[in-house]
Structure 1
Amino acid sequence: YIALSRTDLSNLIESDMSSTPAHSSKAPEESKTQVDISAQRPQRDKLQWEFSGLTIWVELEEFGNDITKAIQGMAEIHGTEVIPQGHMTAIYGMDHLCVEEAKKRLRSVPEKIKAWPKFNKPVGVVQDIAVAGNPGQVCSIAWAQLTLSSDPAHEEAMDLLYDIFYGPSSEKKASRDRPWTPHYSIGYDNPQDTPMTLEATLGVISKLPTLTTCERHAKALSLWSTE
């Protein structure tokens, strides 16, 4: 993974000052709980799947570094690689833009997306194995994620984002899956004989209560090369 550029979304956060926020950005005391890594496993092989193209990630605000702690906990327990940045994938596998053009378009986001909607608390936890070529699956990988919900405001923001990167000035057009299923992964592994389980995933999440109880703002969009 190579981080190429980042655009701060702090000015795009939708205003909700008319009502009292359900959670402040200060982490509750319980979110400081350390993940138990007493059951560490031997290191797994590096991730074998080769991702392709340029990717846009949505970075979320954290409460007491809860997403980062979950990622680290999953890696330590299962002996897997650490995901370099907590994120939700907005656009994957762009191969029609050079890096400099992609950076330029990323910098234009604040001019075209006036408000990035807040995300409600997660609606589910998934631990599964994907196989490239199956419906909706673009890679062969084992993973664990927290799934969030999308609403019309998120769909509008995603449409605008796709228009920026695949709009009239692009040689390549792209259609996206609808509705968007926003989610942030906390663990990746090779699919063969993975030790990753739903039980272990829930164990990590249960020690970081803010993962499932807090609404979150998007704090940045970042451009990555995942090749």
Structure 2
Amino acid sequence: MTDAWELRLWFEDYLDACNRHDLDAVRELLDPRVRRAHLPAGADAWIDDLADLFHGFPDWQWRRIQIVVEDDRVAVHLRGSGTHSGVYRGIAPTRRHVNVAEFGMYRVAGGRATEFSGTGTTHCCELSGCDRTPHQRRRYASRRMPAATTTSVPLWRRQLSAIPAPISRQAFTTIRLVVSSPIRSANNVLRSDGCAPGAGVR
């Protein structure tokens, strides 16, 4: 069994190589037949994906948020960010800055990653909007809800305005509690523009 400190050192070396965009150093830390969940297997495919990312986002960097080691596995929470200033998967540069959370689980044996599962950077285009055509961007923008509609009047009051009068004070209080709780929770999940909070695009 690999010691926990050795796995931590392995991941530090891997993250440092990635942030230096040193693909040769990254390859040395991967098993040639490394398996990835829902992605092509093999170190060559892994390196190709990184090369594609670094070409589209030349300033891409990862920052480690948390790392947990157990047995031969490393679980990490990362924050990746960069600017789409190069062609990425056939999409012209948008100059948009992307900041995304990533979670990964690595299985390490003999100083090399043999398995990987988790989120990756393949969703950068979706988050940055660079995978949308100009027509799609205009349609998306037209669907965004004006911020004033959610800040001028509390949502639970607008919902209660549809309840016919007369209504007793006790019933009003009961309905307010029932209606406001789930709706306020929904407000915390969706912003006024329809995006999840902290989606990462500035």
Asked if TM exceeds 0.5, the reply is no
TM-score bracket relative to the smaller structure: under 0.3
* Structure with the largest fraction of helix: 2
**Which one has the largest radius of gyration?**
2
